[in-house]
Amino acid sequence: MTSQYRIVASIEARMTSSRLPGKVLMMAGGKPLLQILIERLKKSRFIHDIVVATTVNTQDDPIIALAEQLGVKSFRGSELNVLDRVCGAAKSVNAEALVEITGDCPLIDVGLVDGVIEAFLAHFPEHRYFSNTGSEISMPWGFDAQVFLAEDLYDINANNPDKEDQEHVSYRFYRKESGDKYKPFHIKYTGELNRPELRVTLDYREDYELIKAAYEALTPQNPDFTAVDVIRWLDQNPSVRDAAIRIREEREK
């Protein structure tokens, strides 16, 4: 399947996370987590370019430096208005279709990302927003991808986005007030991937310890390990798996 669109992956990343400051540049296997994420996305069959959407804060200078080192684009915008920042990043690289990724997902499975892109290519314009995450998630958190036209995001940004839109970027696509305008297409997984209770997303120290341990255990066997490989490793290491689940339940209840 070929694409008529210039498909760009945008990665939202900053150093000033309140829950785990500096998390995107924490190390695993001798590499910053953001580098691991970028290297995995570079293996996509559909993504033409990658842009890191970070902030104008001086604390984020190391993110810009890493992007330059890895040969990917970067863009600096508002820390709080993430929607406007991602729009600016998309425009800076002439994106036509956007794959929204967050820096919280360093172990991203590029096969799953490509699956969301394939759904977009097969079912647009009947549907205008495609994802494998959100309230209908069926896989572990941490392999999230969302795909949509860049021009649709620009339109949202130009039409009175509220605080929720600005913070969550793609929220307008699936929020109740939008009705059937975008007709969201949510991918549901079955079999081993159907484990929505698991967490492989980078929010707390325990998440970092899980991600670091999984990456360092799986990479020597297969650098292109998949989400299923991560799930199997988690089930073989229940103490690490359950610590990340437990801390989230305690702090977010």
Rounded (10°) angle between helices 238-252 and 205-218: 160
Q: Minimal CA–CA distance to 169: which of 185, 143, 188, 150? A: 150
Residue 73 above 80 pLDDT?
yes
Residue-wise pLDDT for 35-57, tens only, equals 999 999 999 999 999 999 999 99
H/E segment holding residue 37? helix 33-41
For residue 147, count other CB atoms closer than 10 A to its CB.
Answer: 27
For residue 168, count other CB atoms closer than 10 A to its CB.
Answer: 15
d(CA 76, CA 185): 30
Q: What is the predicted pLDDT for the residue at 253? A: 67
136/155: higher pLDDT: 155
Domains in the chain, CATH or no CATH each: 7-199 (3.90.550.10)
Rounded average pLDDT over 154-171: 97
d(CA 36, CA 88): 24
Q: What is the predicted pLDDT for the residue at 1? A: 61
Q: What is the predicted pLDDT for the residue at 2? A: 64
Residue 3 above 80 pLDDT?
no
Question: DSSP letters along 137-157, please?
Answer: --S-BT---EEEEHHHHHHHH
**pTM of the shown model:** 0.96
